[in-house]
Structures are given as C-alpha cells and as structure tokens.
Amino acid sequence: MAAIKHIFNELHYEMTRTIAEGGMGVVYEAVQRGAGGFTKTVAVKLIREEYSTIPEFQKNFIGEARLVANLIHTNIVQTYHLGQIGGQYFMVMEYVQGVNLEQFLERHAALGRLMPVDIAAFIVSRIARGLTYAHQKRDTEGRLLGIVHRDIGPKNVMIATEGDVKLTDFGIAKALDLMYNEEGKVIAGKDEYLSPEQASYAVTDARADLFPLGIVLSELLLGRNIFRDADRLVSRKNILTLPIPQFASLRPEINPKLEAILQKAFQRDRDKRYACAYDMLNDLELYLYSDGYGPTNEKLGVYLKEIMGVAPAQSSQTS
C-alpha cells in the first residue's frame, strides 16, 4: 500500500486504510485535500494492476464509472471521478460511514435475533427506491438506458450510521451502449441471489433485479437465504426449482400484505412478477405507512447503533 499512497499523494488523496478487497479491485478510504485546508473523506476504488492491462476488465471498469457518474440519488452510492495513474484505473466515490447489509445480518445472527419486520421492509423499500431511479434513467438524448444491476445482494447495500440505505457496486450492471456483457454465454451475479433469467442464461431486463430483491427481503425476515447451498450449482438449481414457501408459516409476524409482496417478487415467470421496481416500492410503502407512522432513516439509524453496539467506526464498501 506504500507505493499506492505515494502515487495518490501526488493527486492530493491521502490513502488511510483498505476498506475492502475483491477479485478485481480494492477499495480504500482516503482523504481528499484541497485549497484553504479543504478535506473530504472519500472511497477510492482501484482496479488491480494485473487486470489493468486486460481490455475486457478495463472496459468493464470504465463502463461502470460512466454508468454511475450521473446516477445521483440518495439511495445510490455516488461516483465523483474516474482517473488513471501508473497504468491503473481508479474511481473516487462517496464514502459511506456504516456497515453493509451482509454485516448487519451477520450481527443479528451472532446475537440470535431476527430483524424487526418493519425495519426489514423499510430497508428493501429504500433499495427499491434506488432501483426505480436507476431503471428509469435516461441519457442526454432521452433514451432509456435500460440499466439492470444484476448483482442485488446484501453485500452491495450500505447502511449509513444515520440510517441512509445505499445501493452500490454496478460493476456487472448492463446498460444501453455502456457495458460489456455476454448474456446467454455467462452468468453474471452471485448464485444464491440470481433471478431465474440469470440462472438460465436468459437475456435480462429490469425485472431481473426484483427477484433477488425478494430474496434479500426474505433473508432479512428469516435470517437466512432459502436458496443458498454450499454447492453453487445447487444454489442455482434452487433458484429455478425450489418450492416458494408461505413465509408467514416461517415467521408469523409476516402479515398477508407483506406475504403478497414476497410472493409477487418470487414469481419465476417475469411476466407475473412486479412489472417494475416502482410497483414493488409502492406496495412496500403502502404496507409500511397505510396505517399511519412507519419507519424512517432516523429510526433505522437508532436501531443500527443498538444492534452494532456503537456507531460503526468504519465503512465496508464493496470492491
């Protein structure tokens, strides 16, 4: 990291620690410095040196940066800058002080607790809100970008200490004219969070993000992913064939309104699934707020601090 620090110091970024490491990249926490004592904490995502010279990885990394540059929404982690130094590409992104949803789930498991039903539904409603924005995004010529995230899962959702929920990592997303993808030849995404379309090598549209969003909701409610198996192929087969349970039989606090949302999100025939993220968002908000006061960012922030013990001292943004 010493060499990285030296290089980025020249760009006025002081690298303070490694946040996360993945197969293709590394994410660092950094302090951006400017005139007059200006400082701003940011996250810097760096493509690994061994991948920087491979055209496919370059194209994916640049494509992700171009795609998310204009996705400016409170429920999406923002990207500020794409650069290249020493032959390596990097992105400067919004730094989220908090934890990712996977860590939040792990903490509940460690405490032997299930997440409150309203908190689970609220988190997923905020993800749906971010997806609604991304799915509806158009370019400067008014063309629908056709964004499909294709990697919806707990690791790619951040919860800030203040309770903001933010979707991140559009690294394998597809969109009009922007992203490299080989649908029909390869499977993009994690086996236990695929849509049936992804698991069967079919071409996807925005509805492919809503089945895994249902998986995330059910996992928050039950404390487990019903499709997950130690064998990746079995996980994928489960996505395609495992009978979808009545979730209220597994957790009685799930009322008929929430059960209906889960069942609709889990329709394997995408023509019977939610037509768009907005429709799922609308149903979740009707469930949460139709009887009056419901959860807010502030309530989630208080609950996060309660569960994690103290306000999380570090971000865990994905790579």
In a domain, 318, yes or no: no
Helix ranges (H only) for 69-191 are 101-111, 117-136
Helix axes 256-265, 210-222, angle to 10 degrees: 140
Q: Decide which of 38, 70, 94 is a domain's last residue.
A: 94
Kindly state the helix (H) or strand (E) to which residue 288 belongs, with its residue range: helix 277-289
For residue 316, the SS3 value is coil
In a domain, 192, yes or no: yes
Is 151 an active-site residue?
yes
Helix, strand, coil abundance in the chain, percent, nearest 5: 40, 20, 40
In a domain, 116, yes or no: yes
Does 317 have pLDDT greater than 90? Answer: no
Tallying the residues shown for the chain, one arrives at 319
In a domain, 313, yes or no: no
From 118, 139, 151, 209, active-site residue = 151
pLDDT per residue as tens digits for the range 31-87? 999 889 899 999 998 887 777 778 877 877 888 888 888 899 999 999 999 888 877
In a domain, 316, yes or no: no
pLDDT of residue 303: 96
pLDDT of residue 318: 67
Average pLDDT of the segment spanning 108-124 = 97
pLDDT per residue as tens digits for the range 202-232? 989 999 999 999 999 999 999 999 999 999 9
Clarify whether residues 7 and 104 are in a common domain: no
In a domain, 70, yes or no: yes
Q: Decide which of 75, 94, 113 is a domain's last residue.
A: 94
Domain that holds residue 145: 99-308
CATH number of the domain at 71, please: 3.30.200.20
pLDDT per residue as tens digits for the range 238-272? 999 999 999 999 999 999 999 999 999 999 999 99
Q: Decide which of 94, 125, 160 is a domain's last residue.
A: 94
Helix ranges (H only) for 88-187 are 101-111, 117-136
pLDDT of residue 49: 77
Clarify whether residues 126 and 221 are in a common domain: yes
Handedness of CA 28, 169, 239, 278 (dihedral sign): positive
pLDDT of residue 185: 66
In a domain, 317, yes or no: no
CATH number of the domain at 280, please: 1.10.510.10
* CA–CA gap between residue 130 and residue 123 (Å, rounded): 11
pLDDT of residue 5: 61
Clarify whether residues 145 and 278 are in a common domain: yes
Q: Tell me the average pLDDT of the chain.
A: 89
Kindly state the helix (H) or strand (E) to which residue 6 belongs, with its residue range: helix 2-9
* HEC readout, 211-235: HHHHHHHHHHHHCCCCCCCCCHHHH
Q: How many domains does the chain have?
A: 2
